[in-house]
Amino acid sequence: MDWQERLIGLYLYICDHYETHLWVHAQRLSNNDDPKFSDEEVLTLYIFGIMQKYTTIKAIYTYTQDHLHDWFPTLPTYEGYVQRLNRLATTFSPLVEQIVTDCPSCECFWHSHLVDSFPCVMANAKRSGKACVAAHLVNKGFCASKGMWYYGVKLHIVAKRSDKGLSKPDYISLTGAADHDLSAL
């Protein structure tokens, strides 16, 4: 299947589910309830960008602007796109649940893998303003599970689930402490 068929299929899939139940999570309470660039298009572009292996909103937007402009002629500015994407944040959880339900191969991945991250503290909150260890990678962030600010990195691991023993890591990555887990994933 080529990229055009995947893009059209994804758009139709999102439109179908948006019309049935996702619209509730993205309900507009303003007089701008019918924008030129629809919520379905915003969601489609973001998920298609992820499918194309782009990891940032800027990269997804740039790819769309450079390669898909004929398909989406009413694409807003980057700032407008990010604002619309942020307003649709509550839609992603039910959308991902629906995708996992509908896609057996996706479900297989989530049931067979574990995803986690944990902080590697290089300086505590008191010394974080003066710390200069590995300054090109390290920054200041907050660990919600430990309830602390720290200067350091996060270690992210994607591992295969194992019932018999320790899980085997498939992917290990380091990011700055301020990077969000979802963007790292």
| Contacts of residue 29, Cβ cutoff 8 Å, sequence gap at least 6 | none
134 and 47 share a domain? no
39 and 92 share a domain? yes
> In angstroms, rounded to a whole number, what is the distance separating the alpha carbons of residues 66 and 80?
17
CB 44, CB 60: distance < 8 Å: no
pLDDT attached to residue 96: 75
142 and 162 share a domain? yes
pLDDT attached to residue 133: 65
31 and 90 share a domain? yes
Q: What is the average pLDDT across 43-52?
A: 88
- The 10s digit of each residue's pLDDT in 15-28 is 888 888 777 666 66
C-alpha distance from residue 72 to each of 1, 8, 19, 28, 38 (Å): 21, 12, 20, 22, 10
Of 58, 78, 102, the last residue of a domain is 102
> In angstroms, rounded to a whole number, what is the distance separating the alpha carbons of residues 17 and 37?
18
Of 74, 102, 130, the last residue of a domain is 102
pLDDT attached to residue 1: 62
Residue 173: in which H helix or E strand, if any? strand 168-176
Of 78, 102, 126, the last residue of a domain is 102
| Contacts of residue 18, Cβ cutoff 8 Å, sequence gap at least 6 | 26, 39, 40, 43
pLDDT attached to residue 174: 86
User: What does pTM read for this prediction?
Assistant: 0.57
Q: Does residue 108 belong to any structural domain of this protein? A: no
Q: What is the average pLDDT across 54-70?
A: 90
CB 151, CB 122: distance < 8 Å: yes
- Domain housing 50: 3-102
Q: Does residue 107 belong to any structural domain of this protein? A: no
> In angstroms, rounded to a whole number, what is the distance separating the alpha carbons of residues 72 and 74?
6
97 and 177 share a domain? no
22 and 84 share a domain? yes
**Structural domain count of the chain:** 2
- The 10s digit of each residue's pLDDT in 124-155 is 766 656 666 666 678 888 888 888 888 888 88
> In angstroms, rounded to a whole number, what is the distance separating the alpha carbons of residues 67 and 83?
22
82 and 168 share a domain? no
135 and 73 share a domain? no
125 and 58 share a domain? no
* Burial tier of 113 (Cβ tally within 10 Å: 0-12, 13-18, 19+): middle
- The 10s digit of each residue's pLDDT in 95-116 is 877 777 776 555 455 556 788 8
Q: Does residue 13 belong to any structural domain of this protein? A: yes
